[in-house]
Structure 1
Amino acid sequence: MPEGQRKSKQPTIREVAAHAGVSPMTVSRTLSGGVYVRPDVQERVLRAVRELGYHRNEIARSLRPGQSSGLIGVAITNLGNPYYGNFALGVEEVAARHGRRIILGNTGEDPARERQLVSDFIGRQVEGLVLVPSGRSGEHLSSDELGGVPLVLASRSLDGLDADTVLLDDVGGAAGGTRALLDAGHTRIAFLGNARSVFTGERRFEGFVRALAERGLVPDDALVERDQQDVAAAETATRRLLDLDHPPTAIFSANNRNSIGVLHEVARRLRSGAALEAMPALASFDAFELAGLMPVPVTIVDHDPRELGREAARLLLARLGPEPSVEPSRRVEMPVRVVTAT
Structure 2
Amino acid sequence: MAGPEEKHENASPRSLPTISDVARHAGVSPMTVSRVLSGGHHVSAAMQRKVENSVRALGYRRNESARSLRPGHRSGLVGVVVTNLTNPYYAEVLDGIGEILGEENRRVVFGTSHEDFEEEARLVADFVGRQAEGLIVVPSGGSAEHLLPEQRHGVPLVFASRRQEGVDVDAVLVDDVRGAEEVTRLLLDEGHRRIAFMGNALSVFTGQRRYEGFERAHLAKGVPVLPDLVRRGQQDVHAAGLTAHELLALPEPPTAIFSANNRNMIGVIKALYDVGRERGVDMFARVRLAGFDTFDLEELVPGDLSIVTHDARELGRTAAELLLSRLQGKRVDRPSRTIELPSSIRTRRRGEAPLAQA
TM-score tier, shorter chain, comes to: 0.7 to 0.9
* From 269, 279, 298, the counterpart of 1:263: 269
Give the SS at the match of 2:151.
coil
The CA distance in 2 between the partners of 1:265 and 1:146, in whole Å, is 43
When Rg is computed on C-alpha atoms for both structures, the one with the higher figure is 2
Counterpart amino acid of residue 323 in structure 2: L
User: Does 2:338 correspond to 1:331?
Assistant: yes
The CA distance in 1 between the partners of 2:159 and 2:68, in whole Å, is 29
* From 190, 200, 215, the counterpart of 2:206: 200
Counterpart amino acid of residue 307 in structure 2: I
Match of 1:297 in 2: 304
User: Does 2:289 correspond to 1:282?
Assistant: yes
* 1:136 Cα deviation after fit: 3.8
* From 171, 175, 178, the counterpart of 1:169: 175
Residues 27-50 of structure 1, C-alpha deviation per residue, up to 9 Å, x if partnerless?
A: xxxxxxxxxxxxxxxxxxxxxxxx
* 1:275 Cα deviation after fit: 2.9
* From 66, 76, 79, the counterpart of 1:73: 79
* 1:323 Cα deviation after fit: 4.8
* 1:279 Cα deviation after fit: 3.0
Residues 203-222 of structure 1, C-alpha deviation per residue, up to 9 Å, x if partnerless?
A: 11111011011111121111
Over the residues paired in the alignment, what is the CA RMSD in angstroms?
1.7
Give the SS at the match of 1:69.
coil
Query: What TM-score do you get using the length of structure 1 for normalisation?
Result: 0.80
The CA distance in 2 between the partners of 1:105 and 1:302, in whole Å, is 25
* From 119, 131, 137, the counterpart of 2:137: 131
* Contact 1:266/1:279, CA 8 A, preserved across alignment: no
* 1:61 Cα deviation after fit: 7.1
Match of 2:241 in 1: 235
Match of 2:150 in 1: 144
The CA distance in 1 between the partners of 2:203 and 2:286, in whole Å, is 30
Query: What TM-score do you get using the length of structure 2 for normalisation?
Result: 0.76
Taking structure 1 as reference, are residues 222 and 323 closer, same or farther at Cα in structure 2, changes over 3 Å only?
Answer: closer
The CA distance in 1 between the partners of 2:123 and 2:215, in whole Å, is 35
Bigger CA drift: 268-277 or 161-170?
A: 268-277
User: Does 2:122 correspond to 1:116?
Assistant: yes
Runs of 5+ in structure 2 lacking a partner?
1-64, 350-358
* Contact 1:190/1:224, CA 8 A, preserved across alignment: yes
Match of 1:314 in 2: 321
Match of 1:38 in 2: none
Bigger CA drift: 158-167 or 115-124?
A: 158-167
The CA distance in 2 between the partners of 1:89 and 1:275, in whole Å, is 38
Taking structure 1 as reference, are residues 229 and 290 closer, same or farther at Cα in structure 2, changes over 3 Å only?
Answer: same
Give the SS at the match of 1:319.
helix
Q: Percent identity?
A: 53
Match of 1:84 in 2: 90
* Contact 2:284/2:302, CA 8 A, preserved across alignment: no
Give the SS at the match of 1:103.
strand
* Contact 2:67/2:75, CA 8 A, preserved across alignment: no
The CA distance in 1 between the partners of 2:88 and 2:330, in whole Å, is 35
Match of 1:45 in 2: none
The CA distance in 2 between the partners of 1:61 and 1:327, in whole Å, is 31
Give the SS at the match of 1:263.
helix
* 1:278 Cα deviation after fit: 5.2
* 1:98 Cα deviation after fit: 1.1
* 1:124 Cα deviation after fit: 0.7
Counterpart amino acid of residue 217 in structure 2: A
* 1:147 Cα deviation after fit: 1.1
Count residues in correspondence.
285
Match of 1:9 in 2: none
The CA distance in 2 between the partners of 1:292 and 1:180, in whole Å, is 20
